[in-house]
Amino acid sequence: MFLLITVSLLIAGAQAKFYTDCGSKLATVQNVSVSGCEPNSKECILKRNSNATICIDFTPSLDVKDIETEVHGVIMNLPVPFPLPQPDACKDNGLSCPLKANQEAYYKTTLPVLKSYPKVKVDVKWELKTESGEDLVCILIPARIH
């Protein structure tokens, strides 16, 4: 019995993710990676005056023509927008739009972590939205700006 519990905990720990899905309604997220994040860590470390790269592998459930990126830092339940150099997810982010339903897509972009950002614990809410404003992908990443 002890062996069964130990093996179950090891398997669960190996499958742990540093992010949570916060409402990916129109796509299935296969994988997320962020520079500064260890796969089994509880939070990502984002260093000020550097860049953080995020990669999201997902499969849309419908054809999508245009995709906008929205990023917010959520501090004490208050969303604060992060400005992006390129909010159009279809330009310079690895996506070839329009996306086809049931075909895996690979999104990759870089977010500047400005020196002016305060050293604070923050949940990063990363959304890829369709042309109608619906969440294609929504992930929540616990982070600490260092």
Report the CATH number at residue 132: 2.60.40.770
Considering the domain boundaries, does residue 128 fall inside one?
Answer: yes
Considering the domain boundaries, does residue 100 fall inside one?
Answer: yes
Domain that holds residue 99: 18-145
Considering the domain boundaries, does residue 9 fall inside one?
Answer: no
Considering the domain boundaries, does residue 11 fall inside one?
Answer: no
pLDDT for the residue numbered 98: 96
Considering the domain boundaries, does residue 5 fall inside one?
Answer: no
Q: Strands 135-145 and 20-21, how do they pair?
A: antiparallel
pLDDT for the residue numbered 16: 56
Among 27, 31, 34, 102, residue whose Cα is nearest residue 67 = 27
Considering the domain boundaries, does residue 3 fall inside one?
Answer: no
Print pLDDT tens along the chain (146 aa).
333 222 333 333 344 578 999 999 899 999 999 987 876 778 899 999 999 999 999 999 999 999 999 999 998 889 999 888 889 999 999 999 999 999 999 999 988 888 998 899 999 999 999 999 999 999 999 999 98
**Burial category of 69 from C-beta neighbours within 10 Å (exposed 0-12, middle 13-18, buried 19 and up):** buried
pTM of the model: 0.84
- Contact between 136 and 60 under an 8 Å Cβ cutoff? The reply is yes
- At 75, list the tokens: 């501090």
Q: How many domains does the chain have?
A: 1
Question: What is the 8-class DSSP label of residue 96?
Answer: -
Q: Strands 20-21 and 27-34, how do they pair?
A: unpaired
